[in-house]
């Protein structure tokens, strides 16, 4: 078996510049001899970030898996790996799962390399720690995705080059993984600057916002203390929004427009695809995966893989601008403008006759290839609206802060009422006039906040995590759910199986219950 097949030996470093992001794997690299300056640390950090924008991570595999596992996207595909994700019958050899598991650990390995290498750089802490803190942030970013999906897992926090050592690693309890994630983010928060030149570079605001989300997620297990910590972190970001240069964008569409997103103050941390035409379309494929099959836009339309159901579309208020931004209700088929009345949006045999996800296919940017691949998108991993909703949910759980929570939710709803310009399926720039909807709430509950998250963050790969942390599966996957009954769902499905080949290579690893 070739050495690159060992998960824990994948310390390949992808070198990328700030503007070209070209991967150049240089194989197994020990810190000794390479790290001499903060620039070398930054190189390793950029390598860690590069793994996140790969097709095997956010470019398609993880992002689409999260969409399919939610209750808002139907599958228009018969590929077994996708069917398993959609119907919650995922097996340990599922190709989507195995690829983003591996890519996550490659990103972690590059972050570990940066952290270890920083110890060899002989400059003062004030000079190198703000750079090293980016590596701590990225390591936390990858592990946070992994622990929410797999629970206990191999936790690696240093470069590993010894085969025997690699194959002796066992699973670290999820509680300890969370503790390590929090420790990494606290280091990042201490040393990162308030703002960065790009939202694709972690900042103090990004670390604090992720701490809020981590605490909110862990509160499902730990309870009141973590809700308080989530509230504290989220409100700290809100209180310092001016310092952190954060605000709600006045046009919701801007958040999904590759041509203008760089100027928005709403993203807090983003995966920056940076106008790269990747070799073999290796990077971004979310636009074609969610786009309309047979549509003339984007030189071939989409592939009609992840498509909302009629019930999901109907759950949005037609006077809410977020529906117009989130859904394509018409298409351009063979030069003809086709509206989705009676759900006849496309006549293609592989298309679904419902409105489609519009957030990614509408404005893919100048570097988009056929069907919108290899776009110029910056994908917001966390944005200011979500921090407001984290604060609202945590405030309600803490108690005695209902009015404050109500204010946070209504800020998000007020932005939606502003309307704005967006592009229709016929590529016609259209104005959505300011609306009276969604109206301000007069009272708010946790369920209201979760519903606001569902609407505001629709198709941004957040919903499955909300379902899992709040244990909503029995309801949302039932016959009355937006996708109808998913009969194979059980509580075991809140965690995925560890990849079968990892268990085969390492007898110290055990499988999750139910698999």
Instruction: Single out the residue in 380, 395, 416 at which a domain terminates.
Output: 380
> Same domain, yes or no, for 21 and 147?
yes
Q: pLDDT at position 369, please?
A: 80
Query: Does the residue 402 lie in any domain?
Result: no
| Residue 269 pLDDT level (bands cut at 50, 70, 90) | very high
Is 90 exceeded by the pLDDT of residue 461?
Answer: yes
pLDDT interval class at 425 (50, 70, 90): low
User: 76 in the Ramachandran plot: left (φ > 0), alpha (ψ -120 to 50) or beta?
Assistant: beta
pLDDT in tens, 281-316: 457 899 999 988 877 778 888 888 999 988 999 999
For residue 22, the model assigns a pLDDT of 35
CA distances for 81 relative to 65, 289, 495, angstroms = 9, 15, 16
pLDDT of 284 reads: 84
Decide which of 380, 405, 423 is a domain's last residue. 380
Q: Provide the pLDDT for residue 278.
A: 52
Output the CA torsion 121→122→126→131 (10° steps): -10
**pLDDT at residue 514 above 90?**
yes
CA-to-CA distance for 255 and 378, rounded, in angstroms?
9
In order of 110, 145, 481, the CA distances from 12 in angstroms are 7, 21, 43
- The pair phi, psi for residue 42, each rounded to 5°, is -65, -35
Do 392 and 242 touch, CB atoms closer than 8 A? no
Q: What percent of the chain has pLDDT over 70?
A: 88
Side-chain half-sphere exposure of 241, counting CA atoms within 13 A: 16
Q: What are the strands, taking DSSP E only, across 12-162?
A: 74-75
On average, the pLDDT of the chain sits at 88
Q: Are residues 184 and 288 in the same domain?
A: no
Element (H, E) at 24: none
CATH value at residue 159: 1.25.40.390
Weakest mean pLDDT among 99-113, 337-351, 469-483: 337-351
C-alpha 437/C-alpha 417 separation (Å) is: 6
Whole-number pLDDT of residue 429: 86
The reported pLDDT for the residue numbered 27 is 34
The answer on 300 and 151 residing in a single domain is no
Could you tell me the residue range of the domain that residue 338 belongs to?
A: 279-315+327-380
Same domain, 188 and 289: no
Nearest CA to 69 out of 467, 455, 356, 454 is that of 467
Asked, for residue 272, whether it belongs to a domain, the answer is: no
Rg of the chain on CA atoms, in Å: 22
Q: Is residue 457 part of a domain?
A: no
Q: Give the residue, 434 or 21, on which the prediction is more confident.
A: 434
Residue 110 belongs to a domain: yes
170 within a domain of the structure (yes/no): yes
| Degrees to nearest 5, angle at CA 112 with 110 and 113 | 65
Lowest mean per-residue pLDDT among 54-58, 305-309, 315-319, 343-347: 343-347
pLDDT at 274: 65
> Does 447 fall in a domain?
no
Using an 8 Å Cβ cutoff, are 371 and 300 in contact?
yes
Could you give the number of structural domains in the chain? Answer: 2
* Confidence at residue 470, expressed as pLDDT on a 0 to 100 scale: 97
CA distance 324 to 328: 7
For residue 422, is pLDDT > 70?
Answer: yes
Same domain, 290 and 161: no
Cβ atoms of 136 and 188 within 8 Å: the answer is: yes
DSSP conformational letter for 151? S
**pLDDT(15) > 90:** no
b vs e for 9-37, b when ≥16 Cβ sit within 10 Å of the residue's Cβ? bbbbbbbbeeeebebeeeeebebeeebee
Cα–Cα nearest to 411, from 367, 377, 379, 444: 444
Listed range (2-11, 45-54, 267-276, 423-432) with the worst mean pLDDT: 2-11
Beta-carbon contacts of 280 under 8 Å, excluding residues fewer than 6 positions away, are: none
Q: Is residue 393 part of a domain?
A: no
Same-domain check for residues 165 and 301:
no
**Sequence-distant (≥ 6) Cβ neighbours of residue 239 within 8 angstroms:** none
pLDDT at residue 16 is higher than 50: no
Inform me whether the pLDDT recorded for 17 exceeds 50: no
Which two three-digit tokens encode residue 442?
């007069």
Query: Residues 10, 106: contact at Cβ < 8 Å?
Result: yes
Residues 369 and 509 in one domain: no
Q: For the segment 155-188, what is each residue's pLDDT rounded down to a tens digit? A: 999 997 777 777 789 999 999 999 999 999 999 9
CA 137 to chain centre: 15
User: Does 341 score more than 60 pLDDT?
Assistant: no
Pairwise CA distance, residues 200 & 262, whole Å? 10
The position carrying tokens 């703002």 is: 195
In a domain, 474, yes or no: no
Q: Binning pLDDT at 50, 70 and 90, where does residue 353 land?
A: confident
End-to-end CA distance of the chain: 26
The residue to which tokens 């979500």 are assigned: 386
Give the end of a domain, one of 380, 403, 424. 380
Is there a single domain that holds both residue 179 and residue 53? Answer: yes
């Amino acid at each position: 078996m070739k050495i690159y097949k060992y998960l824990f030996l994948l310390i390949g470093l992808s070198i990328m510049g700030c503007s070209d992001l070209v991967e150049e794997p240089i194989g197994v690299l020990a810190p000794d001899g390479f790290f001499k300056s903060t620039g070398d640390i930054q190189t390793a950090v950029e390598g860690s970030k590069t793994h996140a924008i790969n097709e095997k991570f956010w470019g398609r595999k993880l992002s689409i898996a999260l969409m399919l596992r939610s209750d808002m996207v139907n599958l228009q595909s018969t590929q077994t790996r996708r069917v398993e994700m959609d119907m919650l019958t995922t097996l340990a050899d599922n190709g989507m799962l195995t690829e983003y598991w591996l890519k996550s650990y490659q990103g972690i390995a590059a972050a570990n390399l940066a952290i270890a290498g920083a110890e060899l750089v002989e400059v003062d802490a004030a000079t190198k720690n703000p750079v090293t803190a980016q590596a701590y942030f990225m390591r936390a970013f990858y592990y946070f995705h992994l622990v929410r999906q797999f629970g206990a897992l191999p936790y690696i926090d240093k470069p590993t080059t010894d085969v025997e050592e690699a194959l002796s690693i066992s699973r670290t309890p999820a509680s300890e993984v969370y503790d390590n994630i929090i420790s990494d983010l606290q280091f990042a928060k201490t040393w990162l600057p308030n703002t960065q030149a790009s939202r694709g570079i972690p900042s103090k605001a990004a670390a604090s916002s992720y701490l809020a989300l981590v605490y909110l997620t862990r509160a499902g297990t730990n309870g009141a203390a973590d809700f308080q910590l989530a509230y504290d972190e989220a409100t700290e970001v809100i209180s310092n929004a001016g310092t952190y240069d954060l605000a709600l964008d006045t046009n919701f569409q801007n958040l999904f427009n590759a041509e203008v997103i760089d100027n928005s103050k709403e993203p807090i941390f983003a995966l920056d695809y940076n106008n790269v035409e990747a070799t073999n379309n290796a990077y971004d494929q979310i636009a074609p995966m969610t786009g309309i099959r047979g549509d003339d836009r984007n030189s071939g339309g989409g592939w009609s893989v992840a498509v909302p159901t009629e019930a999901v579309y109907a759950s949005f208020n037609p006077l809410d601008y977020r529906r117009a931004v989130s859904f394509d209700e018409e298409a351009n088929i063979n030069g003809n403008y086709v509206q989705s009345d009676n759900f006849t949006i496309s006549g293609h045999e592989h298309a679904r006759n419902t409105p489609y996800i519009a957030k990614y296919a509408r404005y893919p940017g100048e570097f988009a290839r056929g069907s919108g691949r290899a776009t110029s998108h910056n994908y917001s991993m966390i944005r200011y609206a979500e921090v407001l909703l984290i604060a609202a949910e945590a405030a309600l759980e803490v108690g005695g802060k209902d009015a404050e929570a109500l204010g946070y939710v209504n800020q998000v709803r007020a932005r939606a009422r502003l309307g704005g310009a967006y592009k229709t399926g016929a590529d016609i720039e259209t104005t959505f006039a300011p609306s009276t909807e969604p109206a301000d709430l007069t009272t708010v509950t946790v369920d209201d906040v979760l519903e606001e998250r569902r609407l505001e963050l629709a198709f941004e790969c957040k919903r499955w995590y909300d379902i899992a942390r709040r244990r909503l599966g029995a309801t949302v996957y039932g016959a009355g759910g937006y996708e109808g009954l998913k009969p194979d769902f059980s509580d075991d499905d809140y965690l995925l199986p560890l990849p079968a080949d990892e268990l085969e290579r390492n007898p110290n690893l055990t499988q999750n219950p139910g698999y």
